[in-house]
Amino acid sequence: MEEINLKEFFNYYKKYILIIFIVAVILVIGTSIYNIKFKTPLYTTKTSVVLVKNDTKNSSVVNDNESIDVNSINLNQKLVSTYRKIIKSRLVLEQVVSNLNLNYTFREIDSEVSVNAVNDTEILEISVSDEDPKVAASIANSIVSVFAKEVAEMYNINNVSILDKAQIPTSPSNNTLLRDVVLAVFVAVAGCSAIIFIVYYFDDTLRDTENIESEIEMPIIAKVFRDDSGIDLIVDKKPKAYASENIRTLRTNLQFSSVDEELQTLLVTSTLPNEGKSFISSNLAVSFAQAGKKVLLIDCDLRKGRQHKIFKVSSKKGLSTLLLGDVKKFADYVNPTKIEGLYVMSRGVFPPNPSELLSSKKNETLLNELKKHFDIIILDGAPCSGLSDSLILSSLVDKVLLVSSVNYTPKTELKNTKKALENVGANVAGCVANNIKIKRDSYGSGYYYTHYGYGYGYGEKN
């Protein structure tokens, strides 16, 4: 069984507190309405009889001078179960209906009557519940009379004596509003908590935890917080934002991870769409350019690449159209940007065979030629799930960077993507944990982060 991190589960649970509250309120309101408007009030009364020896026929009171021996007591205790059946029998109950002139069937009156034996005694308690308190008392007292008469006729003995006569109840016995409200709150909290725990336990999505690296079996190179402004090029437009700091940290970590060998080509990809790879690759390119590098960003997602929208360049002349022509004329397809040192090659028109174009000899030749003119080349690849585009490109670059989205990317899928890349000989630098929300702490100083969804990613901007 997977070990449960209680702190992580508590943070996960807190996200659903409002839902639990709403469910509890709905159940409490529903329970209250049912109890007040729809629940029929019932009145319950009780009578009790004791089984005693009495040899005088047609007498319901034991003679004070008469002795009660042990054998009689044992006999009466054995008769208790039999007498319970007699009281609930059709013979007794139909006589009660007839005597009281009630408009009840046997089944209806049977459901109103219950008989219980007091433990280790010869006492029987008869309870009757009815919508009319007077009728309930009349039924209870009538049952005792009919029952005593039938026992005398069946066994030729008079051993049934009344202990307590049924009284007319003054208040409903089924007024359980408070109990039902408490029960509704308990059911809401317990039920929702159980569902949340099950969802949490079987939830395979990536969460920003202390053991995240061991869970996905690869290093986390950087954690990128979200900026609510919705700006694509956050590093350029808001250089002091936390996301910008995260991107610069990512750039530095990549540089330090390539001390022994020069990092000139980098593929940025993801497992699924909408994990923010285009956001990461574009801002990483800006960061390298700001560090004095001559950078080329190539949109290699020939299906749904959006770098042309981010940098506002034409998508008609791009990678796909270049690979269909003469790759030596790449200069006509490289677009300068407003950021010094940064150039962009868009995806071009959507081709019918993206994988074949990327795996062609022309693409390898193009990449080797571009290395002569740029310090670093960043390839924004397609998601790996179900597509071979990035797997093809991974063998042509120095390193591969995997972008994941917290609370979105399945850990199993992420590990499978890493394994697939390594199987084709890719050098996976690590993973970027994207889409983490940052909040100021409760003391107003310092920050902490929680999970959030990004508006950036594969396809159109959300």
| pLDDT for residue 202 | 82
> Whose CA is closest to 272, among 319, 205, 335?
205
pLDDT, tens digit, 9 for 90 and up, residues 139-170: 999 999 999 998 888 888 788 888 889 999 99
User: So what's the pLDDT on residue 436?
Assistant: 84
Distance CA 126, CA 148 (A): 13
Q: What is the pTM of this model?
A: 0.66
- pLDDT, one tens digit per residue, over 282-315 is 999 999 999 999 999 999 999 889 999 999 998 8
Give the whole-angstrom CA distance, residue 335 versus residue 332: 8
As its CATH architecture, domain 208-451 has: 3-Layer(aba) Sandwich (3.40)
Burial degree of 225 (CB within 10 A; 0-12, 13-18, 19+): buried
**Are 127 and 114 a contacting pair, CB within 8 Å?**
yes
The amino acid at residue 178 is L
**Pair type for strands 123-130 and 342-345:** unpaired
Residue 44: which residues within 8 A CB-CB, separation 6 or more? 127, 128, 129, 136, 169, 173, 174
Sign of CA dihedral 21, 23, 24, 29: positive
Burial class (CB in 10 A: 0-12, 13-18, 19+), 255: middle
Task: Give 237-269 pLDDT, tens digit per residue.
Answer: 999 888 999 999 999 999 887 666 788 999 999
End-to-end CA distance of the chain: 38
Estimate to the nearest angstrom the gap between the alpha carbon of 99 and the chain centroid: 60
Domain boundaries defined on the chain: 6-39+175-201, 43-164, 208-451
Which of helix, strand or coil describes residue 256? helix
Provide the Cα torsion 424, 425, 429, 432; round to 10°.
Answer: 0
pLDDT of 74: 56
Residues (pLDDT < 70) of the chain are 1-5, 53-78, 210, 258-260, 438-462
DSSP codes of every residue in 49-82: EEE----STT--S--TT----HHHHHHHHHHHHH
Strand pairing report for 265-270 and 376-380: parallel
Q: The CATH number of 43-164 is which of 3.30.450.40, 3.40.50.740, 3.30.70.1130, 3.40.50.720?
A: 3.30.70.1130
Q: What is the DSSP letter of 35?
A: I
Residue keyed to tokens 């042509």:
396
